[in-house]
């Protein structure tokens, strides 16, 4: 007897090279069967997914979920229920001083699966920025001990490198983050935006398996030449095995950069949201909205799903996630692909029309359907920049600040 049967959907599971009509059965919290037709009388609960697509639960490689403690953090469970994201990888919200709380109050307390990149800065992302401006917080030995005590959760090292985070100390924090990542043998996720330090000093320190997040930024670190074409650095990084990750956020997704890349056949390795207190209010909103932007830029649906399931799972070395392989955790997302006329915006509110969008109808985590519950209102400091606040459409479902 199966606990849950998801019937009649189009199943897209890139890790298994599967894109076909199929039923998915879950038993004891794990995937028990995927087949063209499974007997509904052998299941306690049945979800009719006809006309829908069924994917592995999404893996969001860049999130901020340390709510109540950090500037950026949101509560993951309510967003998971409406977005299909069952694995949340926190991108450096916690440093050594705040990691015990992240483990106990966030990872243990959440219904969804969670991992984290440890911030090199021991204070993590308590404040909006400046975490590296005081190098005393860059305690490599303390970070190593934190990793060794939390290897079940920590999947990499995070360093945000831009003019604010590093104010006055240049490339030094990234050199220290490089040394730390090497010592613990984990990938390094580096955020780019606006220099100094300049982009070339940053990419010189990246190694195979590392992640360049905000890869399609429009900031001064953008992967564009002066005449608006894709910088050769983008392809070089991918050839070296460095992963290009979207990390949309509030300041890090530019249609100009994205279009230049796709035009040259350079696709992001991972599509992640960088969901946080601000970006959840729009124009990012959530991972399905971000995926829809790439769908409407011309990427095929299975390729888009691949970059939010198999590939991010691979990036963190968790091959049992982001797939519907037999025996893997019972994490499943169900979507409707709606057709119509939709406006999408990058972070500078440049608009693109699209004719398809992914809307999550059901999120199953560990074999259980996540209940739709209200989200917390934005934190009192989380006020969108004017240009986004006044133009963001579809924001009415959120409580926007005055
Ligand atoms: Zn981020």
CA 130 – ligand 1 centroid, Å = 14
Span from the CA of 186 to the centroid of ligand 1 (angstroms): 18
Q: How far is the CA of 61 from the centre of ligand 1 (A)?
A: 10
Q: How far is the CA of 63 from the centre of ligand 1 (A)?
A: 6
Mean pLDDT score of the chain = 95
pLDDT in tens, 110-129: 999 999 999 999 999 999 99
Question: For the chain, which ranges sit under pLDDT 50?
Answer: 395-402
Distance between Cα 250 and ligand 1 center (Å) = 9
* Centroid of ligand 1 to alpha carbon of 242 (angstroms): 18
pLDDT of amino acid 384: 87
pTM: 0.96
CA of 115 relative to ligand 1 center, distance in Å: 14
111: CA distance to ligand 1 center in Å? 22
Ligand 1 centre distance from Cα of residue 339 (Å): 30
Rounded to the nearest angstrom, the distance between the alpha carbon of 249 and the centre of ligand 1 is 7
Ligand 1: distance of its center to the CA of 333 in Å?
23
pLDDT at 388: 83
Going from the Cα of 149 to the center of ligand 1, the distance in angstroms, rounded, reads 24
Q: Which two tokens stand for residue 251?
A: 């300041």
Q: How far is the CA of 147 from the centre of ligand 1 (A)?
A: 20
Q: Are 179 and 140 in contact (CB under 8 A)?
A: yes
- Sheet containing strand 188-191, strands side by side: 58-63, 85-91, 113-119, 154-160, 188-191, 211-213, 243-245
Ligand 1: centre distance to CA 279 (Å) = 10
Residue 42 Cα, ligand 1 centroid: separation in angstroms? 44
So what's the pLDDT on residue 393? 52
CA 131 / ligand 1 centre spacing (Å): 13
- Between the CA of 18 and the centroid of ligand 1 the distance, in Å, is 31
* Cα 47 to averaged position of ligand 1 atoms, centre (Å): 35
| Tens-place pLDDT, residues 73-92 | 999 999 999 999 999 999 99
Distance 25 CA to ligand 1 centre (A): 35
Q: Provide the residues around ligand 1 (an ion) whose CB is within 5 A.
A: 91, 274
Ligand 1 centre from 117 Cα, in Å? 11
């Amino acid at each position: 007897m199966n606990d849950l049967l998801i019937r009649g959907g189009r199943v897209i599971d890139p890790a298994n090279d599967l894109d076909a009509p199929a039923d998915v059965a879950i038993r004891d919290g794990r995937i028990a069967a995927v087949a063209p037709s499974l007997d509904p009388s052998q299941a306690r609960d049945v979800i009719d997914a006809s006309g829908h697509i069924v994917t592995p639960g999404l893996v969001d490689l860049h999130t901020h979920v340390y709510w109540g403690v950090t500037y950026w953090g949101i509560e993951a469970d309510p967003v998971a229920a409406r977005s299909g994201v069952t694995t949340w990888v926190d991108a450096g919200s916690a440093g050594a001083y705040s990691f015990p709380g992240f483990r106990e109050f966030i990872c243990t307390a959440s219904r969804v699966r969670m991992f984290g990149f440890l911030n090199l800065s021991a204070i993590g992302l308590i404040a909006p920025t400046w975490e590296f401006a005081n190098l005393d917080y860059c305690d490599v030995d303390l970070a190593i001990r934190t990793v060794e005590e939390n290897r079940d959760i920590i999947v990499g090292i995070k360093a945000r490198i831009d003019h604010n985070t590093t104010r006055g100390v240049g490339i030094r924090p990234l050199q220290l983050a490089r040394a730390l990542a090497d010592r613990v043998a984990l990938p390094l996720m580096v955020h780019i935006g606006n220099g100094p330090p300049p982009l070339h000093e940053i990419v010189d320190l990246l190694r195979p398996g590392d992640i360049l997040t905000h890869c399609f930024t429009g900031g001064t670190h953008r992967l564009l030449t002066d005449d608006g074409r894709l910088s050769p650095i983008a392809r070089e990084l991918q050839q070296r095995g460095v992963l290009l990750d979207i990390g949309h956020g509030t300041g890090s997704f530019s249609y100009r950069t994205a279009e230049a890349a796709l035009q040259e056949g350079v696709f992001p390795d991972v599509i992640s949201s960088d969901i946080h207190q601000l970006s959840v209010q729009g124009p990012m909103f959530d991972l399905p909205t971000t995926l829809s932007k790439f769908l409407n830029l011309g990427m095929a649906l299975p390729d888009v799903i691949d970059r939010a399931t198999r590939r991010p799972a691979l990036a963190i070395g968790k091959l049992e996630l982001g797939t519907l392989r037999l025996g893997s955790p019972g994490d499943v997302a169900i979507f409707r692909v709606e057709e119509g006329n939709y406006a999408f915006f990058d972070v500078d509110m440049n608009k693109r029309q699209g004719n398809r969008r992914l809307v999550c109808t059901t999120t199953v985590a560990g074999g259980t359907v996540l209940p739709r519950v209200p989200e917390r209102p934005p934190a009192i400091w989380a006020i969108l920049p004017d240009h986004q606040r006044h133009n963001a459409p579809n924001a009415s479902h959120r409580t926007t600040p005055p």
